[in-house]
Amino acid sequence: MQPIEVVNLQTHVEPGRSQAVEEARRQFQICNACRYCESYCSVFPALHRQRELEDGELQQLANLCHNCRACHYACQYTAPHEFALNVPAALAEVRQQVWQENASPKWLARLFHRSGAAIAAVTSLAFALLLWLAQGLSGGDGVGFYAVVPHNIMVALFLPAFILPLISVAVGLRRYWRSIGGTRITLRHLHAAMGAVSTMKNLAAGHGDGCNFEDEDRFSHKRRLYHQATMYGFLLCFAATSAGTILHYALNLPAPYNLFSVPKLLGLSGGILLCIGTLGLAYLKTKADPNLSAQRVWGGEMGFILLLFSVSSTGLLLYAFANGDWLPELLALHLGTVLAFFVLIPFSKMVHGFYRLAALIRDEQMKADG
């Protein structure tokens, strides 16, 4: 009697190919034959449009995945089944690789994604430097914060710290866009993608009950809410800074501003939202199963969340104690975290926002192409 041969479903990797990409390809072949998860998010309809997946298409699907985990808990083929599907982790690995490979310098990205400690170290160094600068160069002609760190010094420090990382991200994104076969972006693509971002549609599951994150297969909106608090909080803070810049340069109204000014109202509400969002996300992260993500970067992701929390909480403290004795130290602390945050943009979890937006736009293009 002929024995029943069972195909070895281990991933075979040819030299020069990515283990992460090959593993995702293996898993998706099984998904493509099943299709039960078709309605959960944008990943599966995009997957089912194709029979074979190029590397770039896999990278695109990986960035489209929001790690909501609904597919995993619904999956009949997770371990100990020999198919051993773990789509959230497989895609997280590919995603991580895309972010690292497209960053420059790569070694810095690898270091920061892996190591939250490194993030903390750079933060500390940055604010130590600022403290020193603040002490050495203060006593200028400014008022408020500018009495501690003169405005020109701030601009000289922050403008390159803001612009250079963004240029680095743009270079990486451009490379990514080419590798996934992206075409010209129209307003319609952008509008649809922004719609998905504004509500985090992909973290709601097809039925709108939320995602599976902190309590196994129970659906919840917590992660979606905390993420949106973080995102909108961040955007409000960014708007506050932009408003301040406009007031300063266009209207010749330099800081300090009073409580009911535009920069303060935006900054205060943004700071509070950002604090709540980041604390919530950090808490959920401690509850979630680490096996369903890229485990080696857990620390880096947590470090990034806490850095964002430091930015917002020190900002709020500054508001609260703007006239206190600790102003120089608080200011240095806040500016240090902000500086660290900006410098780390291309190498930290922050890039996920840029890549995910790109993936959502590309998905709209693919949908339009049929």
Q: How far is the CB of 189 from another protein (least distance, A)?
A: 23
The H or E element containing residue 20 is helix 19-34
| Token pair belonging to 176 | 């990514």
- In 3D space, the residue among 185, 212, 168 whose CA is nearest the CA of residue 359 turns out to be 185
Q: How far is the CB of 220 from another protein (least distance, A)?
A: 12
Residue whose tokens read 């050495």: 136
Sole binder of another protein in the list 218, 249, 283, 290 (CB under 8 A): 218
283 binds another protein (CB under 8 A): no
- In 3D space, the residue among 165, 144, 20 whose CA is nearest the CA of residue 94 turns out to be 20
Rounded distance, CA 258 to CA 219, Å? 43
Rounded distance, CA 22 to CA 9, Å? 12
- Say how far residue 196 (Cα) sits from the centre of its chain: 15
Total residues interacting with another protein, rule: CB under 8 A: 38
Residue whose tokens read 């590919």: 94
| Token pair belonging to 73 | 């808990």
Q: How far is the CB of 51 from another protein (least distance, A)?
A: 5
E-strand ranges in 196-292 read none
Question: Please, which residue, 35 or 287, has the CB nearer to another protein?
Answer: 35
Residues 61-120 that bind another protein (CB under 8 A): 70-71, 73-83
Q: How crowded is residue 129: how many other Cβ atoms within 10 Å of its Cβ?
A: 15
11 binds another protein (CB under 8 A): no
287 binds another protein (CB under 8 A): no
Q: How far is the CB of 10 from another protein (least distance, A)?
A: 13
The CA–CA distances, whole Å, from 160 to 112, 157, 239, 339 equal 20, 6, 19, 10
35 binds another protein (CB under 8 A): yes
Q: How far is the CB of 47 from another protein (least distance, A)?
A: 10
Question: Please, which residue, 206 or 353, has the CB nearer to another protein?
Answer: 206
220 binds another protein (CB under 8 A): no
CA-based end-to-end distance of the chain: 48
Question: Please, which residue, 69 or 362, has the CB nearer to another protein?
Answer: 69
4 binds another protein (CB under 8 A): yes
Q: How far is the CB of 79 from another protein (least distance, A)?
A: 8
Q: How far is the CB of 54 from another protein (least distance, A)?
A: 15
Which residues of this chain interact with another protein, rule CB under 8 A? 1-2, 4-7, 29-30, 32-40, 48, 51, 70-71, 73-83, 205-207, 209, 217-218
